[in-house]
């Protein structure tokens, strides 16, 4: 155990001994959340809240239910359990179970509020009454946020009020959109970061800072929280995964790989039959992406084997979780990881084009057909994507349809038409939120655009696209290679060497990527770097 971690564990132990209204645990973090309940029930409540801050849903539910067994009228224990049944950052929520939880506390809102002894506790309970009440989900999310804002204005020095207010802002932004979306994220991040700077072991502060600043512009503000979060709450799989939202924004592929491997292992250990496998699947998905970017193709194939096992079997075994729970999500991730592998390794593969082919499979097939000079398959994939757009599909489907059309016309020696289709895709992307997480589409638009422009001999234009690609998704190896290749083609030796050196510095894996051999040779033959 390193010195830093030893220090954190020691502090955690001392704080845990300190008293019932605040608790710090060496595996889920530190909170200070006074209630009017007895010490025994309070300790389960505190641990439940700490876990809730890290989205450990089932784990938190268990703690709140234990608190309820000890103190059946402990209003805040029901408040906590109700919040543990739905993901606050998803646009859809099933209110059935949370409403059932509140019904166990009392049959009416008035009776339930009467069991909250303080105005502060009544404020928390009032907010969830709105969240799980009647009406459209968007109205309830915004109403919940407004109730938490009122509570925050009254108790602005209370870190738990502040943390849950920050989370309510992030929840409401999912149904807001536009400029308000960005302002709500910055507001939430400002609050969460303030808590984190004062209380660096608070799990919610680290977590919500990361979520708030999960974009290429603001990600540096969350880097310290990302470094710390897995140490704060290692007992919760999501806390091990979450830092990679920021590590991806910085192109830190070793950390993306390692943290998601750790998160996958935690999810596998925590899983029980009947529970969701979401944390395991999510970590597997992002872990493979990190391994592909660092060139560990063997590990990337292992992730595919694991997800295939998860999609077909019914328990836990070596290599991954097995189970019927989450099978549909697992099946979708099987296709995603296989096609991402094709695109990132460039081990081109022609696949059947059908109405049931996932969008990303059609794009992988279109790109494979482009490189294998199979215009028939390329046109079939393009036509299927265009059909989906004609039937009302938008967003990423429309982007991929334009990418496929650009590839088709580039293969037919129609450069101006190809460029028109790529610019059409750019017009769709520009109003969208900045990229978060693994690449979507699986071949990023600006990277593909740059590579096609290279093929067309338009090096200056290619450089422009690779610049945008690297701004949006730093340290993607193929964007670095493309930029270096384009700069070298027009004689900009220093800039080419700079990007080849960056590629060599991050690449730790497969020699099948020709760009790495090219980079090393260039650096030997030209001034500007070394291995």
Query: Looking up tokens 């029980």, which residue turns up?
Result: 272
Q: Is the pLDDT of residue 12 over 50?
A: no
**Residue 72 to residues 132, 322, 435, Cα–Cα distance (Å):** 21, 36, 46
Task: Give residue 527's pLDDT.
Answer: 65
Is there a contact between 7 and 231 (Cβ–Cβ < 8 Å)? no
- 23, 29, 30, 33 alpha-carbon torsion, rounded to 10°: -70
Q: Is the pLDDT of residue 530 over 80?
A: no
Domains of the chain: 3-242 (1.25.40)
| Digit-coded pLDDT (tens) for 70-105 | 999 999 999 999 999 888 887 677 889 999 999 999
The whole-angstrom distance between residue 247's C-alpha and the CA centroid of its chain comes to 11
Q: Is the pLDDT of residue 388 over 60?
A: yes
Q: Of 183, 204, 185, whose CA–CA distance to 195 is shortest? A: 204
| Digit-coded pLDDT (tens) for 343-353 | 999 999 999 99
Pairing of strands 316-317, 29-32: unpaired
Which pLDDT band, with edges at 50, 70 and 90, does 24 fall under?
very low
Sign of torsion over alpha carbons 83, 89, 95, 96: negative
Query: Looking up tokens 């290599």, which residue turns up?
Result: 319
The arithmetic mean of pLDDT across residues 176-185, rounded, is 76
The whole-angstrom distance between residue 329's C-alpha and the CA centroid of its chain comes to 15
Which pLDDT band, with edges at 50, 70 and 90, does 178 fall under?
low
Q: Is the pLDDT of residue 329 over 90?
A: no
> Coil, strand, or helix at residue 38?
coil
pTM, to two decimals: 0.90
The arithmetic mean of pLDDT across residues 511-523, rounded, is 93
CA-CA distance, 103 to 112, in Å (whole number)? 8
Q: Which residues contact 226 (CB under 8 A, 6 or more apart)?
A: 206, 210, 242, 243, 244, 245, 246, 247
CA-CA distance, 346 to 367, in Å (whole number)? 9
DSSP assignment of 293-353 equals HHT-HHHHHHHHHHHHHHHH-SSEETTEE--STTHHHHHHHHHHHHHHHHHHHT-------
Task: Give residue 9's pLDDT.
Answer: 32
Q: Is the pLDDT of residue 499 over 70?
A: yes
CA-CA distance, 135 to 132, in Å (whole number)? 9
Task: Give residue 290's pLDDT.
Answer: 97
CA-CA distance, 171 to 185, in Å (whole number)? 10
Phi, psi of 409 (to 5 degrees): -75, -30
> Coil, strand, or helix at residue 188?
helix
Task: Give residue 39's pLDDT.
Answer: 86
Q: Is the pLDDT of residue 37 over 60?
A: yes
Q: Is the pLDDT of residue 372 over 60?
A: yes
């Amino acid at each position: 155990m390193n010195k830093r971690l030893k220090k954190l564990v020691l502090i955690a132990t001392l704080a845990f001994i300190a008293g019932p209204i605040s608790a710090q645990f060496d595996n889920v973090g530190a909170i200070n959340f006074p209630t009017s309940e007895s010490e025994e029930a309070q300790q389960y409540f505190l641990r439940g809240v700490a876990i809730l801050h890290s989205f450990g849903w089932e784990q938190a539910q268990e703690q709140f239910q234990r608190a309820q067994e000890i103190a059946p009228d402990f209003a805040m224990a029901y408040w906590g359990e109700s919040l543990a049944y739905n993901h606050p950052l998803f646009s859809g929520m099933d209110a059935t179970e949370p409403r059932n939880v509140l019904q166990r506390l009392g049959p009416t809102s008035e009776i339930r509020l009467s069991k909250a002894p303080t105005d502060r506790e009544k404020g928390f309970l009032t907010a969830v009454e709105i969240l799980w009440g009647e009406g459209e989900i968007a109205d309830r999310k915004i109403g919940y946020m407004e109730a938490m804002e009122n509570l925050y204005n009254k108790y602005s020095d209370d870190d738990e009020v502040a943390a849950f207010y920050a989370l309510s802002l992030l929840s409401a932004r999912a149904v807001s959109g536009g400029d308000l979306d960005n302002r709500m994220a910055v507001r939430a991040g400002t609050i969460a970061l303030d808590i984190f700077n004062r209380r660096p072991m608070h799990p919610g502060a680290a977590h919500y800072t990361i979520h708030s600043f999960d974009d290429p512009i603001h990600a540096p503000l969350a880097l310290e929280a990302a470094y710390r979060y897995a140490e704060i709450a290692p007992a919760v799989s999501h806390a091990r995964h979450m830092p990679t939202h920021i590590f991806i924004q910085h192109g830190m592929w070793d950390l993306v790989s390692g943290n998601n491997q750790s998160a996958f292992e935690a999810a596998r250990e925590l899983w029980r039959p009947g529970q969701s496998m979401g944390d395991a699947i999510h970590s597997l998905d992002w872990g493979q992406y990190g391994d592909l970017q660092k060139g560990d193709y063997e590990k990337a194939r292992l992730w595919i084997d694991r997800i295939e096992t998860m999609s077909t079997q019914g328990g836990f075994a070596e290599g991954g979780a097995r189970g019927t729970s989450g099978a549909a999500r697992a099946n979708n991730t099987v296709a995603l990881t296989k096609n991402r592998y094709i695109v990132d390794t460039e081990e081109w593969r022609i696949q059947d084009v059908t109405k049931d082919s996932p969008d990303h499979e059609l794009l992988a097939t279109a790109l494979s057909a482009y490189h294998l000079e199979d215009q028939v398959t390329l046109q079939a994939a393009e036509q299927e994507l265009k059909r989906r757009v004609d039937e009302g599909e938008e967003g990423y489907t429309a982007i991929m349809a334009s990418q496929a059309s650009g590839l088709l016309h580039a293969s037919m020696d129609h450069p101006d038409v190809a460029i028109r289709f790529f610019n059409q895709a750019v017009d769709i992307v520009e109003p969208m939120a900045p990229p978060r997480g693994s690449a979507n589409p699986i071949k990023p638009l600006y990277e593909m655009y740059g590579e096609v422009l290279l093929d067309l001999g338009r090096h200056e234009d290619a450089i422009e696209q690779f610049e945008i690609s690297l701004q949006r998704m730093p340290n993607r190896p193929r964007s670095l290679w493309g930029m270096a290749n384009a700069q070298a083609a027009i004689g900009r030796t220093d800039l080419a060497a700079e990007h080849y050196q960056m590629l060599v510095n991050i690449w730790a894996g497969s020699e099948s990527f020709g760009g790495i051999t090219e980079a090393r040779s260039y650096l030997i033959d030209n001034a500007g770097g070394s291995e």
